[in-house]
Amino acid sequence: MTETPQQFRERLSQEAVAWQVRLSSGAVSDATRAEFDHWRQQSAAHEQAYQETTQLWQQLSDPLQADRQRRLALAAAAQRLRRQSRRRTLGLAVAASFVLLMLAGLFPDYIRHPLADYRTHIGEQTSIQLADGSVIHLNTDTAVNVSLSDQERHIELLSGEAEFEVAHDRTRPFRVSAGHTTTEALGTRFIVRYDGNGGNVTLLQGKIRTAAPNTTATLSAGQQIAFNSDNLGTVQTADVNSAEAWRHGRLLMNFVPLKQAIAEINRYRRGQIRLLDDKLGEKEVNIAVDIQHIDAWLEALERTMGVKVERLGGWV
């Protein structure tokens, strides 16, 4: 999907910070350095984002940046804070905790995996081309770490959903781990979805092998398998069109309970849809939703199913 200039700049800033953290964390392999150089040389905007991040990093890490007056001001402020009463301190702590809880509820994606190599927020989608020519398409609220070496190409899906277009390279297996499950492929295209407890793998083209601690399965194109922390499910025939519809800005679901459809839609909007009628939630529906116009789908739902939609501000 097309990024706005602001989204592009924000993404580059996030990527630049992630690179700075990786490069400052200790020993850096030649493969990682090559991948960083490739990222940095993609455009002038990439270079500018990195230079700005480097300057900020130096300011934050250099204690000599603080002059004597700043140190005296900080010391005086600390002394005033220590003189405050216990009641006021507790009040501030409660208020701060409330704010943090509220932010965590409304913006959970901002505190999940903040140091991931690449990530998207709720409602965002983006594509990343790796140094080996492979492409990762990140769906809403997704975080991944990338490690390319001379022996393998390893992607860790921390949470969310991603489609992988794998560049052919017989000498370096391409592996995607999600929890304790690892999917290996060569020259293929597949989707992995993971919520921290379990998920599924859908093969669009080629052949893959998926392994959990206790089981292993081989998938052919058009097949899907679910997994949890220890085991794989049985191989099933996948609805490929529905599985990759998000790549085209759509959600397609056929003959699923309304509550399942709403749970899926809620992945793409910060304000949540709450279903208050359990009986209605069990009714099977077929949906085709434009991710950018979910409210239009809600309006159509009112007309076609006779339900009542109440809106509480901009969030619920």
What is the arithmetic mean of pLDDT over 68-79?
49
The kind and range of the H/E element at 80 are helix 68-83
What's 115-177 look like in SS3?
A: CCCEECCCCCCEEEECCCCCEEEECCCCEEEEEECCCCEEEEEEEEEEEEECCCCCCCCEEEE
Task: Return the SS3 of 81.
Answer: helix
In the predicted model, what is the mean pLDDT of residues 283-305?
88
Q: Are 98 and 86 in contact (CB under 8 A)?
A: no
What are the angstrom distances between the C-alpha of 279 and each of 54, 255, 275, 284, 287?
56, 16, 10, 11, 18
- Higher-confidence position of 43 and 1: 43
Q: Which two tokens stand for residue 187?
A: 């020259």
Which of 251, 181, 171, 247 is closest to 219 using CA atoms?
181
Percent of the chain residues topping a pLDDT of 90: 47
Q: Is the pLDDT of residue 100 over 70?
A: no
pLDDT digits (tens, 9 = 90+) for 133-191: 999 999 999 999 999 999 999 999 999 999 999 999 989 999 999 999 999 997 799 99
What DSSP string runs through 244-256?
Answer: TGGGGTEEEEEEE
Contact between 260 and 274 (Cβ < 8 Å): no
Is pLDDT larger for residue 287 or for residue 14? 287
Q: Is the separation of the CB atoms in 14 and 128 below 8 Å?
A: no
Rounded to an integer, the average pLDDT of 77-106 is 51
Burial of 132 (0-12, 13-18, 19+ CB in 10 A): middle
Residue 254 has pLDDT above 70, yes or no: yes
Give the chain's mean pLDDT: 82
pTM of the predicted protein model: 0.66
Phi, psi of 70, rounded to the nearest 5 degrees? -65, -40
Name the percent of the chain lying above pLDDT 70.
Answer: 79
* pLDDT recorded at residue 52: 82
CA distance 1 to 72: 50
- Rg of the chain over CA atoms, in angstroms? 23
- Which has the closest alpha carbon to 267: 84, 123, 101, 159? 123
Contacting residues for 156 by C-beta, under 8 A, at least 6 apart: 144, 145, 146, 147, 176, 177, 178
pLDDT band for position 67 (50/70/90)?
Answer: very low
